[in-house]
Chains A and B, each alone.
Chain A
Amino acid sequence: EIVLTQSPGTLSLSPGERATLSCRASQSFSSTYLAWYQQKPGQAPRVLIYGASSRATGIPDRFSASGSGTDFTLTISRLEPEDFAVYYCQQFGASPPYAFGQGTKVEIK
């Protein structure tokens, strides 16, 4: 079973700053199966990134991601007001359970 650990738990930043979120897996898996999601209060999550680095449809290019093996990173180059939210990484196809990380909250400083 693959366990994903996200860090930090909370990131306090100002609009315009760069956000770097980490996701570490307990064992290596193909980056094909790594996704990142954004969730705002009262809303369903939406996919930002799949296959470790491919942006989903309609996702602005200030969102980028990278990584392989056990270490993955989501970067928001310049935070917009609408980017303050909770972000989750997930492995969605390597093997069940298709676990999510515990989430990183990006909050306004």
Chain B
Amino acid sequence: QVQLVESGGGVVQPGGSLRLSCAASGFTFSNYDMHWVRQAPGKGLEWVAFIRYDGDNKYYLDSVKGRFTISRDNSNTLYLQMNSLRTEDTAVYYCVRMYHGFDYWGQGTLVTVSS
């Protein structure tokens, strides 16, 4: 069965960095486009970043451009490098597969940016 397992969240000070990972299993990872989506506490869903199945195309939410980098290792791992973190980046970050819509989601990893 398809599984997406995020890791790497935690508490970081403003201006700090974190790298999130997402381990994929149960499907041929290299065939699928992938995304990161976040959800601030008590708020709605916010798309963050996209990477094409082969890693050649990447898109970002305007507010994270230049600070976040999405990447993938097609031996089954998706990454999100987050630099220059701000308090408004505090959220649960989900790794998501795209096929028929965003069809599989991880359980999420919490990132808290606070001094």
Residues of chain A at the chain B interface (Cβ within 8 Å): 35, 37, 39, 44-47, 49-51, 54, 56, 86, 88, 90, 92-93, 96-103
Chain B contacts with A in 81-112, Cβ cutoff 8 A: 94, 98, 100-103, 105-108
Residues of chain B at the chain A interface (Cβ within 8 Å): 35, 44-47, 50, 59-62, 94, 98, 100-103, 105-108
Instruction: List residues of chain B with CB within 8 A of the CB of A50.
Output: 100-101, 103
Residue ID in chain B nearest A35 by CB atoms: B101
Q: Which applies to chain B's interface (DSSP): helix, strand, loop or mixed?
A: strand
Q: Is B45 a contact partner of A56 (Cβ separation < 8 A)?
A: no
* CB of A69, distance to nearest CB on chain B (Å): 19
Listed residue (A93, A98, A100) with the most chain B CB atoms within 10 angstroms of its CB: A98
A92-B98 contact given A44-B108, A97-B61, CB 8 Å threshold: yes
